[in-house]
């Protein structure tokens, strides 16, 4: 299991580095006003300064460090914890949190790409919000099922 956890950590760190690099490389290309908020339909509904482009990388960094390293302290287990299942439930919880973090960081990167492309008029003006939200619910559901299997 530690191999999977290490892979998820490495994947998350890679996404963070790519997100920051992408943001810094494209900052000067952006117009002064960019979309900063999107409705559920994925279309921009608020605009602001191009400096808002740094919001997602900053949030990603905070998410990774505050959630990724406090996993043992922040768990709310979906099953009753006993002496027999506490170790396996902890591993499942760590895998769940690390997977969710990696997926959210990936979503942040795709949003950053869409914000840049929409700002530069290189793509249609929407972000596939529903697809990303469904993916997150799938991951959560998967780990709830696994936790119940090993209760």
**Tens-binned pLDDT, residue by residue, of the chain (151 aa):** 688 888 999 999 999 999 999 999 999 999 999 998 888 777 888 999 999 999 999 999 999 988 877 666 666 788 888 888 888 888 888 899 899 999 999 999 999 998 999 888 877 677 777 888 899 999 999 999 999 988 8
The pairs formed by 99-103 with CB atoms below 8 angstroms and a separation of 24 or more are 99/8, 99/139, 99/143, 100/136, 100/139, 100/140, 101/8, 101/12, 101/63, 101/64, 101/67, 101/68, 102/8, 102/11, 102/12, 102/15, 103/135, 103/136, 103/139
- DSSP for 52-115 reads GGGHHHHHHHHHHHHHHT-HHHH---SS---TTTHHHHHHHHHHHHHHHHHHHHHHHHHHHHHH
What pTM did the predictor assign? Answer: 0.87
Q: Give the pLDDT of residue 16.
A: 96
């Amino acid at each position: 299991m530690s191999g999977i956890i290490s892979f998820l950590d490495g994947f998350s760190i890679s996404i963070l580095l790519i997100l920051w690099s992408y943001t810094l490389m494209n900052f000067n290309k952006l117009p002064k006003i960019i979309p900063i908020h999107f409705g559920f339909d994925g279309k921009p509904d608020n605009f602001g300064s191009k400096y808002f482009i740094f919001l997602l990388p900053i949030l990603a960094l905070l998410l990774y460090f505050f959630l990724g390293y406090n996993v043992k302290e922040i768990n709310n287990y979906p099953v009753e914890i006993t002496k027999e299942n506490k170790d396996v439930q902890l591993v499942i919880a760590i895998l769940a949190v690390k997977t969710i973090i990696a997926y959210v960081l990936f979503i942040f990167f795709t949003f950053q790409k869409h914000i840049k492309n929409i700002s530069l008029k290189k793509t249609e003006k929407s972000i596939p919000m529903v697809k990303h939200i469904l993916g997150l619910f799938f991951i959560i559901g998967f780990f709830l099922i696994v936790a119940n299997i090993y209760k």
